[in-house]
Amino acid sequence: MSDKKMNLNLKVWRQAGPQAKGHFQEIQATDVSEHMSFLEMLDVVNDNLVRKGEETIEFDHDCREGICGSCAMVINGNPHGPDRATTTCQLHMRRFKDGESITIEPFRAKSFPILKDLVTDRSAFDRIQKAGGYISANTGSAQDANNIPVPKKKADLAFASATCIGCGACVAACKNASAALFVSAKISHLALLPQGEAERSERALGMVAQMDAEGFGACTNTGACSASCPVEISLENIARMNREFMFASLKKK
């Protein structure tokens, strides 16, 4: 297998802390293998920075398998990079050309404050989940598989919504920094299943209220969120969230 090497000019956002003023720093990435993932390339760059006695680039990562959503960064203006349905950790350097300049920034949103360099605080999503993204169930042995029948169409839609990894790319892509796609996926996942019926109304009201309290913007249905989503969550979820919220609000009156 051939292993093409390339040299790249990185323009990386550097910010010492939440209150510090950030700036772009130009860093040369040399002898980069086309087979490296984007994060592996940053690992090599950081190793070189350590050898020079310079401060490394801070960035989030965990599974590196496109599952956890931690590797959130904006690459050349695109959340997670130029490829559709791809997380940053799954983006390979063969997508770029020798000598190319690559601008790397954190996800930018008021509700995702920058902690350092490319690392943002996305705990707002955790608080939204806590506001209603759960069901009440008795503990004990698991129920029989056929005990609660679920129509296949609804099961498929629920599963598709549940694939949301909560990375925040939808927020970063939206001109309003809206979290509607994330919240609607979490609401839809449980609203479509009989197990989620008990808290259905409280879930819609609670999660939407927490989304607003966190300072996320309003949805104007441009579709940028779904286009940037690494697991391609459907915009249909937002319509479902709006219905769930409307019915819950009328029920409460």
Q: Quick one: pLDDT at residue 1?
A: 64
What is the domain-level CATH number for residue 187? 1.10.1060.10
**Given the structure tokens 């296949």, which residue do they identify?**
152
> Is the CB of residue 215 less than 8 Å from the CB of residue 160?
no
pLDDT, greater one: 36 or 253:
36
> On the CB side of 72, how many CA atoms lie within 13 Å of its CA?
24
Query: What's the CA gap between 234 and 131, in Å, rounded?
Result: 22
Same domain, 85 and 148: no
Q: Quick one: pLDDT at residue 107?
A: 98
Q: Quick one: pLDDT at residue 143?
A: 74
Question: What average pLDDT does this structure show over 203-219?
Answer: 98
The answer on pLDDT for 3 being more than 90 is: no
Which residue, 244, 176, 145, is CA-closest to 204? 244
Same domain, 142 and 192: yes
What is the domain-level CATH number for residue 96? 3.10.20.30
Same domain, 22 and 102: yes
Q: How many domains does one find in the chain?
A: 2
Chosen domain end from 115, 145, 175: 115
Residue 252's pLDDT band (cuts 50, 70, 90)? confident
For all residues of the chain together, what is the average pLDDT?
Answer: 95
Residue 96's pLDDT band (cuts 50, 70, 90)? very high
Residues 61-93: pLDDT tens digits? Answer: 999 999 999 999 999 999 999 999 999 999 999
Chosen domain end from 97, 115, 133: 115
Tokens for 101, please give them: 């300049």
The answer on pLDDT for 9 being more than 70 is: yes
Q: Quick one: pLDDT at residue 23?
A: 98
Helix, strand and coil in the chain, % to nearest 5: 40, 15, 45
Tokens for 193, please give them: 């299943």
Query: What's the CA gap between 81 and 72, in Å, rounded?
Result: 10
Domain that holds residue 196: 123-252
In DSSP terms, 109 is beta-bridged to 112
Question: What average pLDDT does this structure show over 40-47?
Answer: 98
Chosen domain end from 88, 115, 142: 115
> Is the CB of residue 217 less than 8 Å from the CB of residue 159?
no
Q: Quick one: pLDDT at residue 148?
A: 84
